[in-house]
Amino acid sequence: MDNVEKFYEGCIMIVLTLAVAIASYFILAYVVGQMWEWYVYPVFEIARPGYAHLVGLSILIAYLTNSRSSAAQVGVKKEKVGPWTTLAALFYDAVAAPFIILFVGWLVHFFV
């Protein structure tokens, strides 16, 4: 692979990483909104915030907790990990994990 191809692959990785990272906040806001309807509203009777507020809360919580994601943990390993592996871990954190949490929350809310 020559330098031009590496440059283009790097640019594609940056764009995909940014797209997944930005989309993750919107996906997380949807999940938080659903969980709010199932768990917060019935107990405290606090109306569900608007979608824009949920996105802001998701960003704030992620910033304050500074939680380490799978994508960050992949980069910590000693062996060299390719950029596509890191992107796959980011995709799992941003898309798959929130929907798994939503599914488990959906199952649990039937028993509350």
Tens-digit pLDDT string for the chain (112 aa) = 678 788 888 888 889 888 988 888 899 899 999 999 999 999 999 999 999 999 888 888 878 887 655 555 555 455 677 778 888 888 888 889 999 999 999 999 988 8
CA distance 70 to 90: 7
Predicted local confidence at residue 79, as pLDDT: 60
Residue whose token pair is 């000693």 = 78
Dihedral angle over CA of 100, 88, 63, 15, nearest 10:
-130
Whether 56 and 90 have beta carbons less than 8 Å apart is answered as: no
In whole angstroms, what is the distance from residue 35 CA to residue 29 CA?
10
Is residue 105 within 8 Å of 38, Cβ to Cβ? yes
When divided into structural domains, the chain yields a total of 1
Domain of 74 in residue numbering reads as 3-109
